[in-house]
Structure 1
Amino acid sequence: MLLKYTPEEIQKMQRVGAYDRVDKIGEGTYGVVYKAKDIRNQKNVALKRIRLESETEGIPSTAMREISLLRDLKHHSIVELFDVIVSENSIYMVFEYLDMDLKKMLDRHKSSFTPMLVKSYMHQMLDAIAYCHMNRILHRDLKPQNLLIDREGHIKLADFGLARSVNLPIRIYTHEVVTLWYRAPEILLGTKFYCVGVDTWSLGCIFAEMILKRPLFPGDSEIDQLFKIFQQMGTPDETKWPGVSHLSDYKKSFPYWEAQPLPNEMQHDLYAHTLFCELMHYDPTRRLAPKSAMMHPYFDNEEAISEQQKLRVIFDYVCELMKLKLRKLFAIANILKLL
């Protein structure tokens, strides 16, 4: 058996009826995510249903990985796994419910991203990743869709389906990790060895996206992604990045670009600018570790989000919920007209 549970846990897992599905909120390769209500305490939860296609295939490796890691990871900025429920042809993972992911907020509520909120979110993300790295876990898929937020200004790391434990010495890992826009250049260039720097690079990209309110490197293929990085940061060479010419997908024929100044929005705050640069070194060994980044001068004046900011975030959420309800009402009205 791949997972071991106590008799008490097995009994607990059989209670799928304890959760009443409210709405479908997401769908992925291995299953569907619902907003649900725990009928025992009336609290909202996120219910991820993963279909077991056949007895021979068993539980998908991504689900196995996520369950095994989240059973051990307990941190205030990492989404909590409450329960695992096994039925005849499905496995359900019950998570704490948060209102929205960072991508949706970036798409719909750009005005909410004040410098103070960006600073708070960034500090919480660094804290979560520092905790993962302290426990020798790489997330490997950091992107706005995998960062969940609530209306109190909290942001939590989710979706550990591609995460894995790392052992020393560093082993060879698969290259097919991290969504393209947030993928570190060493992965794009075919490195056989990588470690915590891949998460650090992704965090830097997300940091820039919150400031710019748009993706920093929105490539549409691996080579386009590389060239977008090169065009901004300059084409890497042995001076900038010792060993880069030995990576399997590095080509001497790559076009040469000089590094360009960062967009104007990232130059207004000197400390934000320097933090970004320290997270985004070409050489992975030079990237600032998340724990060290939390002590960067950018956070010297870091304070809890003010009540005014909280109210603003709440107001945005209420407006969004009202819009969704109105859309549903209009849809129902249109259906009734057709009857």
Structure 2
Amino acid sequence: MVVCAMHPPASHSAPSFLRQYAGHLGRTALRREPGGGLERDRAYLSLHRTGSLGIVHENVKMGSDGESDQASGTSSDEVQSPVRVRMRNNHHRRISNEDINKRLSLPADIRLPEGYLEKFAMNSPPFDKPMSRRLRRASLSEIGFGKLETYIKLDKLGEGTYATVFKGRSKLTDNLVALKEIRLEHEEGAPCTAIREVSLLKDLKHANIVTLHDIIHTDKCLTLVFEYLEKDLKQYMDDCGSIMSVHNVKIFLFQLLRGLAYCHRRKVLHRDLKPQNLLINEKGELKLADFGLARAKSVPTKTYSNEVVTLWYRPPDVLLGSTEYSTPIDMWGVGCIFYEMITGRPLFPGSTVEDELHLIFRILGTPTEETWPGITTSEEFKTYNFPRYNAEPLVNHAPRIDNDGHDLLSMLLQFEAKKRVSAEDALRHSYFRSLGEQVQSLADTSSIFSVKGIQLQKDPGKRSSVYPESTQGKSRRQSVLF
């Protein structure tokens, strides 16, 4: 993913760009939390004097000027060490772990360092007033955020050109995490995909998007700490013997569309949707991952690269060289994934661009001016000289799909990008009526499984509830990890 305004100059090193980027992240916007009241609960990067790059979570009440540094009554130049923090409370009650968790927006299951409770209670602003940013950074650093020693490496999950991914464990929560170590080449700085992933994930907070917990920066490595999910959708389908329950297909598709609709509302395109980039935990929660190719997009006509999206899930307009696209680029991939879940096999498994287009046109028919206005004048299209294929009913290829599912699939697999259904509209399609009305009004951070009665069914071809850590399985996750 790339934030358009944040391209790192080629001449800048990774540390210098990340330092500038850290300053940029400090300027966050207001949002309203479910509990009410205007607060900030945003993650931003902080460069410490040691050169480490940490992630800090804010939950700060805002002043009328939109800033909070001075709101606590302590200027940024006069901020005291958290060791000298003193609690001034009207009731003089004893400070608790819950107080600190709430004050610093920490997970409920976090383990605070020994003696930290007493240090924090020594000298802090009253709890009804916000902390300064500088004090918050120092407090979180003392707890252990932004430090490699906070995480224990376990199994190596895979290795790519720029990154190695390990299964790990956080000493702060004892929870499993995924540690994505990105090597920093001194000549090139941080890989562009790493900057993209950090740039966008720090702003995406949704139940169906993988969570970025922490960021650690050293001279040689940038480590992204993600929540750990047991398997990806491809592995899940393999475990089912390629025969998934149609009910489970519906639940996974709804979650995919929820996460995607959230991204698209924020003008973020994923651009690399495929089963290997959709992670699933033991509860059945599906989450979008691998935002290395994603991009923040504000102008619908902006030109981007056409070398995006794995071939099997790439829409025909991009295959034919289009570099002007918007959110519909992701919707074609959703249709391909929907079909693959229903049938257990990929819809268009082409080996080359030409082969991919042939497979698409064999099933959907060779496009004409009626089905795709302007296609006959496309130089790329004329170059291939495709045979005239007649469209085949999709239901012939996916007999397990019902009429509503067939209708939704057809709306996703439209040649013309502007005719593809949006993620937001797809969520309201009659195909999902059986899930009930409550799933349509979930808060962004609420799981679909928080709705009473929503649960996965046993898949007909299910072989095992535990994913075997085989070499084959690891290779299937390479695209997620790198």
TM-score w.r.t. the length of structure 1 is 0.88
Q: Does 1:88 align with 2:202?
A: no
- TM-superposed deviation, 1:310: 6.0
Q: Paired residue for 1:52?
A: 184
Q: Paired residue for 2:325?
A: 194
Corresponding residue to 1:173 among 304, 308, 318: 304
Q: Does 1:16 align with 2:56?
A: no
Q: Does 1:257 align with 2:404?
A: no
Alpha-carbon distance in 2 for matches of 1:153, 1:13: 29
Aligned-residue identity in percent: 42
Q: Does 1:283 align with 2:416?
A: yes
Alpha-carbon distance in 2 for matches of 1:191, 1:308: 40
Alpha-carbon distance in 1 for matches of 2:253, 2:340: 11
Write the deviation string for residues 22-72 of structure 1: whole angstroms up to 9, x where unpaired: 112233332111110012221000110111122x31100000000010011
Alpha-carbon distance in 2 for matches of 1:200, 1:74: 21
- TM-superposed deviation, 1:244: 1.8
Unaligned runs of 5+ in 2: 1-15, 23-44, 55-140, 437-447, 471-482
Q: Paired residue for 2:371?
A: 240
Given that 1:191 and 1:248 are in contact with CA atoms closer than 8 Å, whether structure 2 keeps it comes out as no
- TM-superposed deviation, 1:192: 3.1
Q: Does 1:41 align with 2:188?
A: no
**Larger Rg belongs to:** 2
Q: Which amino acid aligns with 2:467?
A: E
Alpha-carbon distance in 2 for matches of 1:29, 1:246: 40
| Structure with the largest fraction of helix | 1
SS at match of 2:435: coil
Write the deviation string for residues 213-255 of structure 1: whole angstroms up to 9, x where unpaired: 0101000011000000000000011110112233341117221
State the aligned residue count: 321
TM-score w.r.t. the length of structure 2 is 0.63
Deviates more, 1:9-18 or 1:155-164: 9-18
Alpha-carbon distance in 1 for matches of 2:458, 2:153: 29
- TM-superposed deviation, 1:271: 0.7
Corresponding residue to 2:357 among 226, 230, 244: 226
- TM-superposed deviation, 1:302: 1.5
Given that 1:99 and 1:149 are in contact with CA atoms closer than 8 Å, whether structure 2 keeps it comes out as yes
Alpha-carbon distance in 2 for matches of 1:246, 1:139: 29
Q: CA RMSD in A?
A: 2.2
Unaligned runs of 5+ in 1: 325-339
Q: Paired residue for 2:46?
A: 6
Write the deviation string for residues 74-100 of structure 1: whole angstroms up to 9, x where unpaired: 111000000111122111000001000
SS at match of 2:361: helix
Q: Does 1:125 align with 2:260?
A: no
Residues 113 and 131 (structure 1 numbering): CA distance in 2 closer, same or farther, change over 3 Å? Answer: same
- TM-superposed deviation, 1:174: 0.3
- TM-superposed deviation, 1:151: 1.6
Alpha-carbon distance in 1 for matches of 2:351, 2:458: 37
Given that 1:190 and 1:247 are in contact with CA atoms closer than 8 Å, whether structure 2 keeps it comes out as no
Write the deviation string for residues 161-192 of structure 1: whole angstroms up to 9, x where unpaired: 00001122421110100000000000011113
Q: Does 1:99 align with 2:246?
A: no
Residues 277 and 264 (structure 1 numbering): CA distance in 2 closer, same or farther, change over 3 Å? Answer: same
Q: Does 1:62 align with 2:193?
A: yes
SS at match of 1:256: coil
- TM-superposed deviation, 1:264: 4.5
Q: Paired residue for 2:4?
A: none
